[in-house]
Structure formats: C-alpha cells, structure tokens
Structure 1
Amino acid sequence: MTLTRLLRAAAIATTLAVASPALADDIRDAIEEARRAYQANDLVAAKAALDVASQLLAQRSATGLSRFLPAPPRGWTADEAETDASAAAMFGGGLIAKRRYTIGERHVTVQVLANSPLISQMAPLFSNAQLLGAVGRVFRFKGKTAVHSRDGNIQVLLGRTLIILEGSGTEAEKRALLDLLDIPAIESFNG
C-alpha cells in the first residue's frame, strides 16, 4: 500500500464523514465512491468509503430508533433524544437511542438498544423466569417479561430490542414512562 493510496483513502473518508446533510444522499455518494475505487482496483479507498457508508447507515438507523422515545408526560420535562451508533460498541454493536426525563429532582433515562449481539446473549435470561428472578423482581408488561433489578433499573427484552429505564425516579415513575412506549412498533423495528 503506497502512501498516496493511504492519503487518498483518508481524504475520501474525511470528506464523506463531514459531508453536509444538504447533499442529496450521502450514503449513496459513499457507496458510489466505493464502487469507483473498487473498479479502479483501489481497495484501500473502496474499504474506507464503504466504512463511511456503513457508519452513515448506522447513524440513520439510530435516528429512526429515537422515534420510539415518547414525549414527556404531564409534569415532566425531557431532553432532546440522543442517538448513537458508535456508543453501542460497548454493547457489542448495534444502535442506541435514549432520552432523559425529569420530574422535580428525579430523572429517568429511557434507552432503546437494538440489533446488538448483547441482546441475543440476554435472550436465555429473559426466557427463564428463575434466572431472571436472580437479577430482580420479575413482572409482566404488555404481555412481555420485564425485570425491576436490584439496582432500580427496569429492563424489557423485545425480540432484537432491549429497553432500559434507569435513574433516580421511582419504580412507579419508570413504569409510567414504560407504559408510554409503543411495544408493537419497537418490536417491528428493522433499522
């Protein structure tokens, strides 16, 4: 690999990563750049452009995931929803959308984690109430098994999506926020 090719790949990746959202379709542009680089047998540049396209796709999917975070209930305030495709790396990959809700001095953060390998590892735990009981108090939520863990968090596994509610809010406050989630829509998410 020559220095020129390496610099070209870095320039392509940088250009695509900071591309303006005003561009028609930055994902398609990155894929097209990868195609051109591949046809020119510049595999380093092709991979760099595909890596950017992959990250842009993950970011767009994470943004789509944020639509499941509800508006704050009466008496609550909420921060803007945050999405991150790269922060999910600590969970083995996937997508994260989260939003912090505040009432008085208490707060609850609702996180939606989707398409992560961690979720498939948790599935056996959620399918066995005896094991899940070791984590905390098991309860049913809209036909799904949930757990209120000893650290005060609530977790619900919905197919390829994990819902986590954490923070200083009471269990009743966390459950009230949990009730606002559109479970069928979350389960059908395929971002």
Structure 2
Amino acid sequence: MNKLIVNISALVICTLMIFVSTAAADDVMDTINEAIAQYKNGEYSAAVESLEYASNLILQKKGLQLKKLLPEPLPGWAAEEASSQAAGKIMFGGGVTAERTYNRGDKSIIIKLATDSPLLQSIMMMFTNPMFAVSDGGRLERIRGQKAIINYKSATETGTINIVVANRFLVTLEGDHVTKADLMAYANKIDYRALTDLP
C-alpha cells in the first residue's frame, strides 16, 4: 500500500513539475514543496490536498491564458468582461473554461473556450459519427480550417457552433436573437493558431 502511495505521489508531483518552471518560486512551487514535506512526515491526506490545490492553481493559470484569447467585440457590438474558471479533476472531473458575452441591442453571443473538459470527448464523437451531429438539425462545416458543427434555427434566431481545435480545445458559440452570419463572424474572429500553440 505504501509503495502504491509513493508511486502515485511521485507521478502527480512529476506531472505538476512539467507545467511549472523550477526557476521561479511561486504559489504553485510552494504548495508542491509543502506536499513533499507532508508526504515525508507521513501526512498523506494533507499531501493529497496540497497537490490538488497546486493542480487547481495551475488550472487557474491555464484559464487566464484562455481568457486572453477571447476576441474583442466586432464593430457595433459591446462585450462584457471575460471570465475564467477551473474545476479540479478529483472533485469535478477537471476542465478549464473562459467565456465572454457580446451584445448588440437584443442580440447576444456567448463564446466559451474550454480545455481538459469531459465534454470534449462527446463532441469529438459527433465528428466521428455525423449521425449524432445532424440528428437535431446540425451541419458539419469547416471554419478557418477547423471542424465545426453548426446548428442554427432561423425561426427563433438562435444557434450554436461547436468547434474542436487540435483535439484539445472546445470552442462553443451560443447566439440569441442573432443571424447565422453574426455567429460565423465571431467564429472567424477567434485566433485558432494561438489556441493551438497554448501549452
């Protein structure tokens, strides 16, 4: 049992260290070092909690990176302040999201960027089996080279676009009182290259 705990703890610590520069002492490194000390003292539960906390700090940093890639509003539109949040893998299954709402009169579009999300696999399955994508009126298209599922209802002026980027990121646009052209304009404004280049 102790050997298993050693192996798991070592694996988690090594994984966390990949994402953090050892040259800079910050909250993440301080928490990891605290977890190591707790482990050496036999405080296994405390060590696990510290590692989870360090993991959440890293996810927060990823969330800030995602937030910076939310586009500026198109001419004539206004945008609310972007937000981001991270969910720990142990408690909530993981996932980092950033989102921003754009308004123009009655028109409203929400753009969400997500990574490490459990939803990503289910969306990717739709691309593998187009029957799932078109079952509720969706259409498969490409937007700036990215595979997308577009579902727009002209009768209600509502629609969604789901885009999978580099098999790691899920981009979702949700529009209310908008045209399909409005949704496409914002989908084309996202910097997919910068998104792909994120670590």
**TM-score range, shorter-chain basis?**
0.7 to 0.9
Identity of aligned residues (%): 34
Q: TM-score, normalised on structure 1?
A: 0.78
Q: CA offsets, 1:104-146, max 9 Å, x none?
A: 1211000011122321232231134344222412222112221
The count of corresponding residues between Structure 1 and Structure 2 is: 167
Residues 87-96 or 40-49, more deviating: 87-96
Instruction: Establish whether residue 37 from structure 1 lines up as the match of residue 4 from structure 2.
Output: no
Contact 2:163/2:171 (CA < 8 Å) preserved in 1? yes
Q: CA offsets, 1:41-92, max 9 Å, x none?
A: 1112211211211111111111111121011111111111110112999984
Contact 1:155/1:165 (CA < 8 Å) preserved in 2? yes
Q: Distance in 1 between matches of 2:89 and 2:160?
A: 18
Q: Please tell me the root mean square deviation across aligned C-alpha atoms, in Å.
A: 2.3
Aligned match of 1:11:
none
Instruction: Establish whether residue 99 from structure 1 lines up as the match of residue 100 from structure 2.
Output: yes
Aligned match of 2:171:
163
Instruction: Establish whether residue 152 from structure 1 lines up as the match of residue 153 from structure 2.
Output: no
Aligned match of 2:181:
172
Contact 2:159/2:180 (CA < 8 Å) preserved in 1? yes
Aligned match of 2:141:
139
3-state SS of paired residue (1:71): coil
Instruction: Mark the CA change 1:67 to 1:61 in structure 2 (over 3 Å): closer, same or farther.
Output: same
The gaps in structure 1 that reach 5 residues or longer are: 1-23
Q: Which amino acid aligns with 1:154?
A: I
Aligned match of 2:192:
183
Q: Which amino acid aligns with 1:163?
A: V
Instruction: Mark the CA change 1:86 to 1:97 in structure 2 (over 3 Å): closer, same or farther.
Output: same
The gaps in structure 2 that reach 5 residues or longer are: 1-24, 153-157
Instruction: Mark the CA change 1:90 to 1:179 in structure 2 (over 3 Å): closer, same or farther.
Output: farther
3-state SS of paired residue (1:172): helix
Contact 1:88/1:95 (CA < 8 Å) preserved in 2? no
